[in-house]
Chains A and B, each alone.
Chain A
Amino acid sequence: GNSVTQMEGPVTLSEEAFLTINCTYTATGYPSLFWYVQYPGEGLQLLLKATKADDKGSNKGFEATYRKETTSFHLEKGSVQVSDSAVYFCALSDRTQGGYSTLTFGKGTMLLVSP
């Protein structure tokens, strides 16, 4: 079956530091890959996505590249801000038998950014 593995947290950084959150996946077929973010007190929000190999998703200064050869989708940001403090979830989407997609998530990584 499908699975997503992401690095354990919390990740603690100072403002303007470089961020990497590792994510690897196992899937049958060719999934789409996503990063979701949950800010304190809010729901899950789509941060970025990539639908095929070598695609790069980007949003709000975050980037992730779909690497089929290493089955990875690592999240990076060059300079984090305090407002980036949140829980980040890596996920994949594949078709179910009925032709619709559901999401398989990793455990989530908490990011704490201090001023």
Chain B
Amino acid sequence: EAGVTQFPSHSVIEKGQTVTLRCDPISGHDNLYWYRRVMGKEIKFLLHFVKESKQDESGMPNNRFLAERTGGTYSTLKVQPAELEDSGVYFCASSQEIGGLGVNTEAFFGQGTRLTVV
């Protein structure tokens, strides 16, 4: 079974440009999460989809970040325009929970996309 896959694995862009990151969750997982790790700091929660709906986007840093999950399958995270402080590793994770009872459900992570803004 395929795991969570993320594209690209690494992206280098100039300040002011636009970048779109993609995440394909494990098939059948309703929950999809985006996290970000800035160099030397914690992995921070960005947002959470349940199917195609945004359940929680409290971690999104500002309106330059736009996440979508069309049809409840793959998700994209667009940064426009990118700033230097957006550099970091962006992780996607998916999980399968039933009825909101799943605090113990394992989240499966992708390899991450390393974004470098120069």
Contact = CB atoms under 8 A, between A and B. Distances in A.
Interface residues of A, number: 30
A105 B56 contact: no
Contacts of B110: 43
A100 B111 contact: no
A44 B110 CA distance: 7
Contacts of A105: 35, 42-44
The SS class assigned to the A binding surface is strand
B55 A96 contact: yes
Nearest to B46: A102
Interface of B: 3-4, 31, 33, 35, 37, 40-45, 48, 50, 55-56, 91, 93, 97, 100-112
Interface of A: 4, 31-32, 36, 41-46, 49, 51, 89, 91, 93-108
